[in-house]
Chains A and B, each alone.
Chain A
Amino acid sequence: MKINPILQKDIKTKLRGWRSVILICSYVTLLIFILLIYFVGNDLIYSYTMPSFNPRVAIGGYNLLITFQFALLYLAVPAIIATSISSERERQTLDLMLVTKTPAREIIAGKILVSIAHILLLLIASMPVVGVVFFFGGIGFPDLLKLIFFYILTSLFVASSGVFFSTIFKRNIVSIITTYIFLGLMTFGPFLGFFAYSLLNQMTFSPTYRSIALSLFPSPVFGFLSFYFSGTSHYDIFGSYYGHGLFSSIAYEFEVLIASETGLLRYMQPWIVNGIFSVLFSLLLILLSSAALNPVRRKK
């Protein structure tokens, strides 16, 4: 099987030496530390009301870890990818790639694969830590696979946005800033729009899952909500209230709204809706980036 040469080169150079080993070890240590702090903190808080360890605390820990991973993915991928083409241009190696018989779309694909490979590496390295939750039940291996799949789709979306801006802007710094602004707008814009609309139409506004999905589908945070409430519920096995804050409450409302939905949408959880958008939008950005990179179409 032919591996994309750009991916091959990047893996070779990035994984050489101790730098990447130290990075991965630091990342896993950080996750362990976060989980430990969470467990110790919960043990202190609930030591009077719950004499024994509540397994749902582990699920809360899992939620915290995946949120941290998601935020890291969202913040780290643009930093890796948003300079991918512009740095080749600055290093004066872009022309040397374009003069080969590798088409522009394969160069773009190679750059995107590099960032997805980085994220996969960190995700796989963190599996033993995230897997701690298996000891307590509630989260299954398929849930984890589903989550990784969603992370990959989100990485694809973030990476294609980064590579697009990296292709159209010549300077690294401009490309990075534009990518973050764009991702910020795509992530929080739909929520702001939705809340603004609901505030303006308080009297008549009665949200359904369909209307929410149609408003929030571009935002990966909307998709991520699927995983945040996975395995958790508002009430514990004894019927006592056991909330995990704002996101769990929103997630719970979603569960209710999705259950009341009819047709295909009933089976389209937020991560599927957002995942489909991510794939389609990424394909569009890849096509646009390839066209912008194609030398005979460039005017300068």
Chain B
Amino acid sequence: MLHVENLTKRYNGTLAVDRLNMDIPEGEIYGFVGANGAGKTTTMRIIAGLLAPSSGKVFIGGIDVFKEPLEVKKHIGYMPDFFGVYDDLKVYEYMDFYAGLYGISKQKSRGLTDSLLELVRLTNKKDAYVDTLSRGMKQRLCLARSLIHDPEFLILDEPASGLDPRARVEMTEILKELRSLGKTILISSHILHELSELCTSIGIIDAGKLIASGSVQDILEKMSHANQVKIRVSSKEEEAVKILMEIPGIGSISSVVGVIDVNMEGGDEACVRVLKTLVERDIPVVSFQPVESSLETVFMQLTKGEEQ
């Protein structure tokens, strides 16, 4: 469905997106992960045809986004990371307006609006003014707007940002429904465990470069050579830290009241080696617990925890 080839975007000499390549097959939900300023929004805006790249190509459903912009827009639904609503319109008028911009007739738009408002659970707010809606409702309305022309490909930039936990769960449920409807979705989010639940594959972007891409499981497995271990000691905490620092392959170490977090390279063998060294040096180890790899840890490892 989406094919991105060597996409590059420069802003006054600053490289925002650097030779990015990406492929999303039909029916996939692709999570786009990256720190603030990593280039997620820029990439998504280019894919949506809202920004010209410095170089590179983007195809959606085989159509060149920059050569046939109007044709490709029939297939894209775009939800930015801001509301973008007209406060002086009622909910159904808002939907009518965008239906009009997509060339959908008034009669057809009414039926579509009804079913979309049902999908985003806003049917009871149909006659309400947009400015009376809560933040979560506005987000859902924006999602409904992006679906008015029944696009096959959705670009959702931080759809759950700023939402309270309940609204986030509601949004996730709606996205799952869209997945079951067979939509291909490119979604960016900061809430990584939600992405890992929802997405079939993910891409991690750092400083404009796509540093990892594939199914969530593949990426977690690829990163399994890097371990995080939680070690609890009953005493000699400082001595334990000193010993750990001497062991080759140990990355970062942090300790708080008897619990030492260790990042190290290597698989199970490395764990055995560390535990053996500590026991041989008479460190009273109470527990030694490898931390299961999550999207968060993978993200932190890949991006080296740097805020952009």
Tell whether, in the assembled complex, residue B82 and residue A103 are in contact, meaning their CB atoms are under 8 Å apart: no
* A5-B100, A9-B93 known; A91-B84 Cβ under 8 A: yes
Residue from A2, A8, A95, A298 within 8 A of B52 (CB atoms) = A298
Contact with A along B78-93 (1 / 0, CB 8 A): 1010111110110001
- In order of increasing CB-CB distance, the 9 nearest A-B pairs are A5-B100, A100-B101, A99-B78, A101-B73, A102-B101, A92-B84, A295-B50, A92-B82, A13-B88
By a CB distance below 8 angstroms, the chain A residues around B86 are 9, 13, 91, 93
List residues of chain A with CB under 8 Å of any chain B CB: 2, 5-6, 8-9, 12-13, 16, 91-93, 95-103, 295-300
What chain A residues lie within 8 Å of B83 (beta carbons)?
Answer: 92
A100 touching B84, Cβ below 8 Å: no
CB nearest to B65 among chain A residues: A296
B59 at interface by CB-CB < 8 Å: no
Which residues does B use to contact A, with CB under 8 Å? 11, 45, 48-52, 65-66, 69-70, 73-74, 76, 78, 80, 82-86, 88-89, 93, 97-98, 100-103, 145, 149
If over half of B's interface residues share one DSSP class (helix, strand or loop), that class is named, otherwise mixed; here it is loop
Total A-B residue pairs with C-beta atoms closer than 8 Å?
Answer: 79
Question: Do B49 and A99 touch (CB < 8 A)?
Answer: yes
Q: Is the CB–CB distance between B66 and A296 below 8 Å? A: yes
CA distance A84 to B209 in the complex (A): 37
Known: A9-B89, A296-B69. A97 touches B101 (CB 8 A): yes
Nearest Cβ on chain A to B169's Cβ, whole angstroms: 26
Known: A9-B93, A12-B93, A103-B70. A95 touches B101 (CB 8 A): no
Known: A92-B80, A100-B101. 14 other contacts (CB 8 A): A6-B101, A9-B86, A9-B89, A9-B93, A12-B93, A93-B86, A95-B80, A96-B78, A96-B80, A96-B84, A100-B98, A101-B70, A101-B103, A295-B69
A99 to B49, CA, bound (A): 7
